[in-house]
Amino acid sequence: MTLRTTLACALALSCTTVLADDGAIRRATALAQDAIIVDTHIDAPGILSETWADLGEAAPDREFDWPRARQGGLDIAFMSIYTSAREDSEGKARQSAHAQIDSIEALVHRHSDRFAILTSPADVERLRAGGRVLLPLGMENGAPLGDDLSQVQAFFDRGIRYITLAHSAANRLADSSYGAERQWNGLSPFGREVVAEMNRLGIMVDVSHISDAAAAQAIELSTVPVIASHSAFRHFTPGFERNISDELALAIARRGGVVQVPFGTAFVNAQAAADMQARFRARAEFDARNAELAAAGQPTQDVAAFEAAWDRDHPTPTTPLSAVLDQIDHGVRLLGVDHVGLGSDFDGVGGELAQGLRSVADFPNLVDGLLSRGHSEADVRKILGGNLLRVWREVEAGAARR
């Protein structure tokens, strides 16, 4: 196939080039529009809290908005309620999480004909009538829970339906895959309580970002299937613990769970993954040195200068859409087609995305790639969202049995 611009460009907010002929992209677009597409990780809320944009209209500086979601066939977009390790250490994580949920509620209130908050897969068909894009909420980093188990219920009541136990540093629940030192050697005692409470309420346990030991313990402890909401396969990025190992992926699948593949260059490109791991370690050393300087009453080094120098010395490698397709193919071969899905990380990786997957308008490009590699339409539907919805229903059923 050769690069060409399709008729879809005339209808798009910005022209998208795709690897397909006209007949193939028409087939892929039709399937994307007909299937239920679920993306388990879009970082719109954090950006909304910093700089408001009306995502019910065209928002060209973002990767998610309603017009492009409809163009791409996206039906269910998990909004990532992300809080940083710094917000956790400063005691601001809980407030930040509530503010981000408020921003999504405001968006839905502003455009009730275009968006609805989704809290159960049982409501999908009813709520998506009329072309709504449904917005379930996932908490990326369990830091807002603090050390208060009652906060799991409080955030469930606000709509949270998965919790990524930790992010870029250990918290009160679990160790992070990025941490050079491991505080808990897996889950903390409180983290174990949180997993049990999530099972009781019907919140999906998310093992993306956490250490291998923490992920293994969470998978074993959970009485229902778990997810990796946005984790590529470490098979392609050796030594990059942020991506999931084949062993852990198999453990997820054996318990009925699903691995959701992201589109970010840093996850699907080996050089970019190595650079990201190195960046976290270098930044940790930089911060530790600054803490020493501050304690000694000496001037600290400039953080912005550090970041600028890193970006200059580590340019983002160009990554083709085929890198994402390779990830999905590996997952299907390893786990079976019932255990692979999509968690793009749109609006969360600074635009560093595989070619042809630059916004929510581009799901037909992914569908075309899967079809061209021989995946059946029935299997593509599973990957696009059927698998995640099955897991979510099983998690709900597990809570109902308790």
Domains of the chain and any CATH numbers: 22-269+317-401 (3.20.20.140)
Q: Beta partners for 18? A: 4
**What letter would DSSP give residue 264?**
B
Q: Give the number of other Cβ atoms within 10 Å of residue 61's Cβ.
A: 10
- Is the dihedral angle over the CA atoms 227, 232, 238, 241 positive or is it negative? negative
What is the Cα–Cα distance from 228 to 40, expressed in whole angstroms?
9
Q: In angstroms, what CA-CA distances link 235 with 4, 180, 208?
A: 32, 21, 16
Task: Please report the beta strands in 2-47, taking only residues with DSSP state E, as ranges in sequence order.
Answer: 4-5, 17-18, 37-42
Q: Stretch 204-210: mean pLDDT, rounded?
A: 98
Q: Give the number of other Cβ atoms within 10 Å of residue 13's Cβ.
A: 14
Q: With H, G, I as helix, E, B as strand and everything else as coil, classify residue 345.
A: coil
365 against 18, higher pLDDT: 365
Which residue type is seen at 294? Answer: A
Locate 103 and state its tokens: 């921003």
Residues 6+ apart with CB under 8 A from 374: none
339 against 307, higher pLDDT: 339
The per-residue pLDDT for range 222-254, each reduced to its tens digit, is 999 999 999 999 999 999 999 999 999 999 999
What is the Cα–Cα distance from 37 to 32, expressed in whole angstroms?
7
The band of 92, judged by pLDDT with boundaries at 50, 70 and 90, is very high
Locate 200 and state its tokens: 């009781």
Q: What is the pLDDT of residue 14?
A: 38
The model carries a pTM of 0.92
The band of 15, judged by pLDDT with boundaries at 50, 70 and 90, is very low
Strands 4-5 and 37-42: unpaired
Assess whether pLDDT exceeds 80 at residue 268.
yes
Q: Give the number of other Cβ atoms within 10 Å of residue 80's Cβ.
A: 27
CA distance between the termini of the chain: 53
Q: What is the pLDDT of residue 283?
A: 86
Spatial contact of 268 and 352, defined as CB atoms under 8 Å apart? no
The per-residue pLDDT for range 372-400, each reduced to its tens digit, is 999 999 999 999 999 999 999 999 999 99
What is the Cα–Cα distance from 86 to 81, expressed in whole angstroms?
15
Assess whether pLDDT exceeds 70 at residue 32.
yes
Q: Stretch 58-62: mean pLDDT, rounded?
A: 97
CA dihedral 330, 331, 337, 338 (to 10 degrees): 170
Residues 6+ apart with CB under 8 A from 120: 396
What is the Cα–Cα distance from 135 to 205, expressed in whole angstroms?
18
Burial class (CB within 10 angstroms; exposed 0-12, middle 13-18, buried 19+) of 79:
buried
Phi then psi dihedrals of residue 162, to 5 deg: -145, 155
The owner of tokens 């009730």 is 112
**Residues, the chain, total?**
402
Spatial contact of 78 and 71, defined as CB atoms under 8 Å apart? no
3-state helix, strand, coil in the chain (%, to 5): 50, 15, 35
